[in-house]
Amino acid sequence: MAVRFAIGHFAQNDREFGVSIVAMNDEQQIVQLFEDGDRALIAVDVAELQRIYAEDYEQYDESGAASTKDDLIRKLTSGEIRFISMTSTGRRIRLLRDDVAIVHGSEDDVIEHGGQRFSVGYVYTDVVMKREGRWQIVGSQLARVA
């Protein structure tokens, strides 16, 4: 997930673009959260995954099947699924409030599942919330790119 949401140049003041310095800082924190998440998924870093995904995290895949943070960690630690590489092909962060944002993005991943390695492209919508001063992913909806 290397593409970053960016404003073309720095504003003279926070009213030039209608965003505040705090909002820009939050966007940077969210970008970092997603970059850390990619590294944690590839490395199966359970401590980082615990930090990044909220306890009440839910994900719905392209078939509508639901899974939780515990399901994700179990699949990774058991080797049922393995992320070989993850490449962000786009990301847009929409801050809705000072503690809620929606992230629309796309990525190309190489994964291993059932002993086979393959490439898969996804678009996603994630909801992130700031809880106790830190951003966490609370929900995800995935769709495969045709």
Query: Could you read off the pLDDT of 91-134 as tens digits, one per residue?
Result: 999 999 999 999 999 999 999 998 899 999 999 999 999 999 99
Domain that holds residue 80: 21-144
Specify if 12 maps to a domain: no
pTM of the model: 0.80
Paired strand residues for 109: 86, 120
Specify if 107 maps to a domain: yes
User: Which residues, at least 6 apart from 101, have a Cβ–Cβ distance to it below 8 Å?
Assistant: 26, 30, 93, 94, 95, 127, 128, 129, 135
Q: Among 67, 138, 133, 123, which residue's Cα sits nearest to residue 99?
A: 133
Specify if 39 maps to a domain: yes
Residue 19 above 80 pLDDT?
no
Specify if 2 maps to a domain: no
Of 23 and 136, more confident:
136
Q: What is the spatial distance between Cα 123 and Cα 21, in angstroms, rounded to a whole number?
A: 29
Residue 7 above 50 pLDDT?
no
Specify if 11 maps to a domain: no
Strands (E), 1-99: 53-60, 66-68, 81-97
Specify if 120 maps to a domain: yes
pLDDT band for 38, please (50, 70, 90 cuts): very high
Report the number of distinct structural domains present in the chain.
Answer: 1
Specify if 129 maps to a domain: yes
Of 62 and 128, more confident:
128
Specify if 5 maps to a domain: no
Q: What is the spatial distance between Cα 119 and Cα 114, in angstroms, rounded to a whole number?
A: 14
Residue 4 above 90 pLDDT?
no
Looking up residue 67, the CATH number of its domain turns out to be 3.10.450.50
Lowest mean pLDDT across 23-32, 44-53, 134-143:
23-32
